[in-house]
């Protein structure tokens, strides 16, 4: 099972900010006029990108006066989308200091530093006080966290009564050996994929009530088909994209991800839960 250091090492880049700034320049933009929408292809590290983020977060009824925690925020793409779209304040946490530091710079580029705070932290042992947030969400994070019970128990603790938790993770939906590497793990021992049933059992044990569930398999396959069609018709990689984060192994990771979904072994699944008022 993955641990903190193996997760950080898996996502390590070394010169992430420079790579993103170079991509921004290739778009014909500068750090003074780049927009949240321009950064979406590189800072939304989950199946479906910005489209998936919007459809997922819209289910959480986030308000302008809400304080939201983005668990496993990565570069903060979801945090920036939420702050801009809903007018809320967002605290993003991630194990990778490189991602957090880069994400803070990206927030300053798009003028959202006053509404977003990104922190290096462990989601299973949060430093925030009880009832600190109105809403919590995580997108493609649980595959790197073995202790799901500690994860959701901490989120239950920091959520205010009546608060909603949204989970959008890749989950195990069938039996069989998975193909590796995938975007979140190079080897099987670095992957913590479990079934929707296991997520729901952990959520209910922590005190949550499940109020929504959606299997996004078909959406994922359509997303990958469109992505491959664009790649086939393009001359080289786009200026900004997930290839920047995944490096030279990106094509193999994406191919294996698609194969695992096609074989009905994995699927991205949304779960919406609520803390009792």
pLDDT digits (tens, 9 = 90+) for 140-155: 999 999 999 999 999 9
Residue 271 pLDDT > 90, yes or no?
A: yes
70 beta partners? 92, 137
- The residue count of the chain comes to 277
- pLDDT (0 to 100) of residue 4: 80
What is the residue whose two structure tokens read 């390590």? 12
User: What is the predicted pLDDT for the residue at 236?
Assistant: 77
pLDDT of residue 38: 96
pLDDT digits (tens, 9 = 90+) for 50-74: 999 999 999 999 999 999 999 999 9
pLDDT band at 235 (very low <50, low <70, confident <90, very high): confident
Tokens of 89: 């304040």
Domain range for 100 is 4-275
Lookup: tokens for 116: 């977003």
Sequence-ordered alpha helix ranges (H) in 87-147: 97-109
Partners of 12 in the β-ladder = none
Residue-by-residue DSSP string for 212-247: EEEE-HHHHHHHHHHHHHHHHHSSS--SSSTHHHHG
Which residue(s) pair with 170 in the sheet? 268
Distance CA 118, CA 74 (A): 9
Handedness of CA 258, 262, 263, 265 (dihedral sign): positive
pLDDT tier, 3 (very low <50, low <70, confident <90, very high otherwise): confident
Label residue 120 by pLDDT band (50, 70, 90). Answer: very high
**How many domains is the chain partitioned into structurally?**
1
CATH classification of the domain holding 198: 3.40.50.150
pLDDT tens, position by position, 175-216? 999 999 999 999 999 999 999 999 999 999 999 999 999 999
């Amino acid at each position: 099972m993955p641990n903190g250091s193996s997760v950080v090492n898996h996502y390590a880049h070394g010169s992430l900010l420079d790579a993103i700034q170079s991509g921004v320049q290739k778009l014909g933009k500068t750090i003074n006029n780049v927009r949240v929408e321009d950064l979406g292809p590189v800072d939304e590290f989950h199946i479906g990108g910005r489209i998936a983020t919007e459809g997922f977060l819209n289910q959480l009824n986030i308000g302008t006066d809400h304080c939201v925690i983005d668990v496993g925020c990565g570069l903060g793409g979801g945090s920036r989308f939420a702050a801009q779209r809903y007018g809320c304040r967002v605290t993003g946490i991630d194990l990778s200091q490189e991602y957090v530091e880069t994400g803070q710079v990206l927030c300053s580029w798009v003028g959202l530093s006053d509404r977003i705070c990104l922190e290096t932290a462990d989601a299973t042992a949060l430093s925030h006080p009880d009832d600190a947030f109105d809403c919590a969400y995580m997108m493609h994070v649980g595959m790197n966290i073995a202790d799901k019970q500690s994860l959701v128990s901490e989120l239950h603790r920091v959520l205010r009564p009546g608060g909603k938790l949204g989970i959008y993770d890749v989950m195990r939906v069938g039996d069989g050996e998975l193909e590796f590497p995938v975007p979140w793990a190079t080897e099987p021992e670095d992957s913590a994929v479990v079934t929707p049933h296991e997520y729901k059992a952990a959520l209910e044990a922590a005190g949550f009530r499940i109020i929504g569930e959606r299997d996004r398999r078909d959406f994922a396959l359509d997303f990958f088909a469109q992505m491959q069609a664009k790649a086939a018709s393009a001359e080289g990689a786009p200026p900004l994209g997930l290839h920047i984060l995944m490096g030279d192994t990106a094509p193999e990771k994406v191919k294996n991800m698609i194969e695992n979904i096609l074989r009905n072994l994995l699927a991205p699944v949304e779960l919406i839960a609520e803390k009792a008022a």
